[in-house]
Every structure is written in C-alpha cells, then in structure tokens.
A = this chain, B = another copy of it.
Amino acid sequence: MNTVKIKAARKPRVRRPYHHGDLPERLVEVAEAVIRERGVDGFSLREVVRRAGVSPAAPAHHFGDARGLLSEVALRGFRAFGDALAAADARGGTDPEKRLYEQGLAYVTFALKHPARFQLMFRHGKYDIGYKDLPAASERAYQVLEDAVRAAMGLAAGEPMTDDANGFLMATWSVVHGFAHLALGEELTRPARARGGKDQVLQALLPLTLKHLPRPKRPR
C-alpha cells in the first residue's frame, strides 16, 4: 500500500522508482502468487495488474509481454532450485551416492513445496528460454547433478562424459523428475494407488522410490 518515498538523498545514480515503490519487483511477486493460486495455466496478466493496482499496459515497459514476466519468475525459480540442489549436494559430504540421494530428495521436495515455480520452469512455451541469464541458472542446476555423477563414476572435472556416465546421469535425473511430475499430477495418490497427501508422498513414497536410484559401476 504505502509507497516508499524517503531516503532520496543517498547517491544520485541509484535508479529510484516511481509511483509504485518498485513495480517490476511487485509484479514478479504478484505473478508468482497468481500461479501459486491458479496454476500456471490459470495465469493472467490482467489479474496481475489488477492486484498490483496498475493498468494493463504497465508491465510492458519492464518485461515486454506476459512471457517476459513469466521468464523472470522462471529465472528466480531456477536460481532457488540450483541453490537447493547445491545445498543438498553439500549435505551429502564426500560420499557420491549420498550426494546423489540428497539431491534427489531435494529435487522432489522443491517440486512439491513450490509446485507453481517448478511446473512453470519445465513448461517451455510459457516463457523465453533465452531470457537474460536464465540459461546460466538452468545450466548451473544441471551442473550440480553432473558433478555428483562425475564423482560417482570417477571422472575428473575436465574429462568428457562417457556414454555410461550419461546414461547414469539421465537415469538419475529421470527418476526424480518423473517422480516429481507424477506426484504433482496426483498420479501417485489415486484411490486405487497409495493414498495420502504431499506429506505422505514425501515421507513414505519418495524414500521407497529413491531406494532404486541407479547405482554406479554396474555394467550390463
């Protein structure tokens, strides 16, 4: 509500906002709230501007179009995602298998705790894949996984990935990614299947699944 207007006499070069405090920031927050409540498909730029109390054309100058705004949201999602994976990796210490397990746990946990972000991140077509340093943020999250895989397969940092390592990586990634999607799609909690909510999925189903994470060094 209150627009901040104080503290204008610091440095002359700081780009201070306008009517609205900091509209771009506010728009991103509101956009995230909207997809949190209405889902990625339920997103509406007009709903965002309505909540932010500005005109429908206001976001244009900052983000271009709706895709631009969603790209910013996705970028932040990838940053937070990469952070979560890196933290989990560190939690795994020096044991490659533990690092991968922790990453898998964190992967699914992130997806279930921030479903809107996660679903947007993997819904190309809703945002611009090349937006600002989104490619870097996305690639960084990927690298966290690849590094742990390299350690598990005994590959140095510079060495090229072998076919085996790539297969191992893709299988690991696929398990956690697939589990996240299935859980978010309520596929795992149908009446005929196991029941329970998100907590049950995370605490019971996920560990049962992660027992079957690929193990390195097993030929044929």
B174 touches A139 (CB 8 A): no
> Chain A 2-45, CB within 8 Å of chain B: the 1/0 string?
00000000000000000000000000000000000001011000
Name the one of B42, B168, B179, B209 contacting A212, with C-beta atoms under 8 angstroms: B168
User: How near does chain B come to A118, taking the closest CB pair, in angstroms?
Assistant: 12
Residues of chain B lying within 8 A (CB to CB) of residue A126: 41
The answer to the question of A154 belonging to the interface, with a C-beta cut-off of 8 Å to chain B, is no
Interface centre among A174, A188, A213 (most CB of B within 10 A): A174
A150 within 8 A of partner (CB): no
Q: Determine whether A68 belongs to the interface, using a CB cutoff of 8 Å to chain B.
A: no
What is the count of identical protomers in the complex?
2
Interface residues of A in 168-194 (CB under 8 A from B): 168, 170-182, 185-188, 190, 192-194
**Taking the nearest CB of chain B, how far is it from the CB of A36, in angstroms?**
14
A contact residues, total (Cβ < 8 Å): 45
User: With a CB–CB cut-off of 8 A, which chain B residues contact A174?
Assistant: 174-179, 182, 209
**Closest-CB distance, A194 to chain B (whole angstroms):** 6
* A166 interface contact, C-beta 8 A: yes
